[in-house]
Amino acid sequence: MRAAEGMYLIGRIFTSSARLYLAAIAVSMIIFADIEPSNVLLASTVLVVLGLVFTSIGGCGRSSGGNLVEVLLYVGAAVRGALPPLGQHPRADMEIIETSPPARGRTSRG
């Protein structure tokens, strides 16, 4: 039974670390607009400090609050990542879609 408990705790540590790393990449993209290792490290440090402060002042009563923060962070990073390429392209958004060539190997059906 002790081995199962130990493996569970190790799995939780890996899971939390992976979530922190993914969130740090998103924060690094939002703040620095790149994923340089030093910027990801700084972003993860900021997330850890904010998490500790959030926990020390009472945190959320339920885990859904933490999940909400993660979702907002990921969606914000996706939106932030999509805006510069669209804004910097010389053509309008719909014009890009309309003039895109069809995929190879596919024929249009009329």
Please report which confidence band the pLDDT of residue 31 belongs to, taking 50, 70 and 90 as the band edges: confident
Q: Give the Cα-Cα-Cα angle 57, 8, 28 (nearest 5 degrees).
A: 50
- Residue type, position 98, single letter: E
Mean model confidence pLDDT for the chain: 75
Spatial distance between the Cα atoms of 34 and 6, rounded to a whole number of angstroms: 37
Spatial distance between the Cα atoms of 31 and 80, rounded to a whole number of angstroms: 10
Evaluate if residue 38 carries a pLDDT over 60: yes
pLDDT at 96: 58
Reported pTM: 0.51
Domain locations in the chain as residue ranges? 2-98
Evaluate if residue 20 carries a pLDDT over 80: yes
Mean pLDDT computed over 58-80 = 69
- Contact of 47 with 77, CB cutoff 8 Å: no
